[in-house]
Chains A and B, each alone.
Chain A
Amino acid sequence: MPKSLISIQDFTKEEILHVLDVAEEMEHNKSQTFLSDKVVACIFFEPSTRTRLSFETAANRLGARVIGFSDAANTSIRKGESLKDTIKMVSNYVDLIVMRHPLEGSARYASEVASVPVINAGDGANQHPTQTLLDLYTIRQTQGRLDHININMVGDLKYGRTVHSLLQAMSHFSPEFEFTAPDELKLPQEYRDFMDSKGIPYKETSDLREYLDATDILYMTRIQQERFTDPVEYEKVKNVYSLNASMLQGVRPNMKILHPLPRLQEISTDVDDTPFAWYFKQAENGMYVRMAIISYLLGKR
């Protein structure tokens, strides 16, 4: 079975650092040609324009050609073709598959069926490992290191998969955490157990202002309606945090605000022009990190 990237835990600490180094190389040289003999499939069984464009641009910038679909609505999948058959067929055409699918575990299954590497571009609420790697890249870029960083995670810590993956990945680097969430969206017990088992210190609050001045990375997340089964629960918490420029008076000078985008009202637009806003750069970094992951899985870096 070729090496795939399905869950952030598929990569060792060394592999993570290697991919970040390659991403840095890509940022310095945005147009490469060493994949000019490769074809990459971007198969999106549910639409996600942002992620798809980032992957397709990454593949193109390496010289690869891209095939695929952006939504399962018009494909044979709607006619009842099994995921296995689709993956078998596509993996006979291409050298690497980027897949997004609403079912959890679909990417792991695809990687077991495919004859080529698979990159998970999101499997429902489960994993989105390239987001985690681009978060790590951005943290290192803004702080000059990954070790001993203080990260304040804000928003939906219960359902937010980016939060869960990032804290698993950061566990390699002796971090400190603050978790800012309303009671309804606090970090699940399994992740507290995980951090206790790794000896990682963390504090919790429901007040965004409480730890704002004591953090290197303010990791804001959107509260996603589609993750809620109870609409009443969503209505209660959807507008709970809103960061604006006036709240940033006393923060650390090196502090940077990250957000997986798209943002809603949780970061007001007057924050965009402060030196602390880094979320657009973070999105750009996603392309370099995806270039690096594709290169690594195809054995070219």
Chain B
Amino acid sequence: MEKNDGQQLKVSAIKDGTVLDHIPSSQVFKVIDILGLSGSEHPVTFGVNLDSKSMGRKGIIKISERFFRDDELNKIALIAPNASVNIIRNFRVAEKKVLAIPETVSGMVKCINPMCVTNHEDIPTKFKTIVKGSEIQLLCHYCEKITDL
């Protein structure tokens, strides 16, 4: 990390890789989890509570030398729908990706229903996403109950 014009901390630039910006600060660690970055061999830098014109405070994650499939990135839309994704090549933004809410979600969320079979047997969860205005709900493939995000 470096000090940037005395105003804000800036997470250092990367040469090649993926930059996830405009993540709510509270969700940064969840995004790290969802993308499986805690076991990453690539350099990962992140910041939370950074000043943002549009959000007030924001979080940012930069992953060097790592590019993700769309279905991996789209999982982030569930917890940070306004996150922006920039693909960096040779220090420049080579591509901007728009996150889409996935139709199904597997394995990353627990079913809220204590009587759901996924909470008793070794079964990965599976949900269908239902978008209700700005809210996203998850319909359990097994017990058919709704888990709010």
Contacts and interface: CB of A to CB of B under 8 A. Distances in A.
B141 interface: yes
A105 B124 CA distance: 12
Contacts of A101: 117
A194 to B, nearest CB: 13
Contacts of A102: 115
B78 to A, nearest CB: 20
Given A7-B144, A124-B115, 15 more contacts: A82-B122, A83-B121, A102-B115, A103-B116, A103-B120, A104-B145, A105-B144, A106-B121, A108-B117, A108-B142, A109-B121, A109-B142, A123-B143, A127-B144, A190-B146
Nearest to B142: A105
Nearest to A110: B117
Interface residues of A, number: 18
30 contacts: A7-B144, A82-B121, A84-B122, A84-B123, A101-B117, A102-B115, A103-B115, A103-B116, A103-B117, A103-B121, A104-B113, A104-B116, A104-B117, A104-B144, A105-B140, A105-B141, A105-B142, A105-B143, A105-B144, A106-B117, A108-B117, A109-B121, A109-B123, A109-B142, A123-B117, A124-B115, A124-B143, A125-B115, A126-B144, A127-B144
Contacts of A124: 115, 143
A106 B111 CA distance: 14
A102 B113 CA distance: 13
Interface in A82-129: 82-84, 101-106, 108-109, 123-127
Most buried by A among B116, B118, B144: B144
B146 to A, nearest CB: 7
Given A124-B115, A125-B115, A104 B121 contact: no
B64 to A, nearest CB: 39
A106 B142 CA distance: 7
The 3 closest A-B pairs by CB, nearest first: A105-B142, A104-B143, A105-B143
B52 to A, nearest CB: 36
Contacts of B146: 190
Interface in B8-42: none
Interface in B95-149: 113, 115-118, 120-123, 140-146
Nearest to B122: A82
Contact of B121 (A84, A123, A190): A84
Most buried by A among B116, B117, B118, B142: B117
Most buried by B among A103, A109, A190: A103
Contacts of B145: 104
Given A103-B115, A105-B116, A126 B121 contact: no
Contacts of B141: 105, 108
Contacts of B144: 7, 104-105, 126-127
Contacts of B140: 105
Nearest to A9: B144
Contacts of B118: 105
A83 to B, nearest CB: 5
Most buried by A among B116, B142, B145: B142
A104 B140 CA distance: 10
Contacts of A126: 143-144
Most buried by A among B113, B116, B143: B143
Contacts of B120: 103
A105 B144 CA distance: 7
B109 to A, nearest CB: 15
A91 B67 CA distance: 43
Nearest to A82: B121
Contacts of A109: 117, 121, 123, 142
Most buried by B among A102, A104, A123, A125: A104
A7 B140 CA distance: 13
B125 to A, nearest CB: 10
A104 B113 CA distance: 9
A128 B25 CA distance: 44
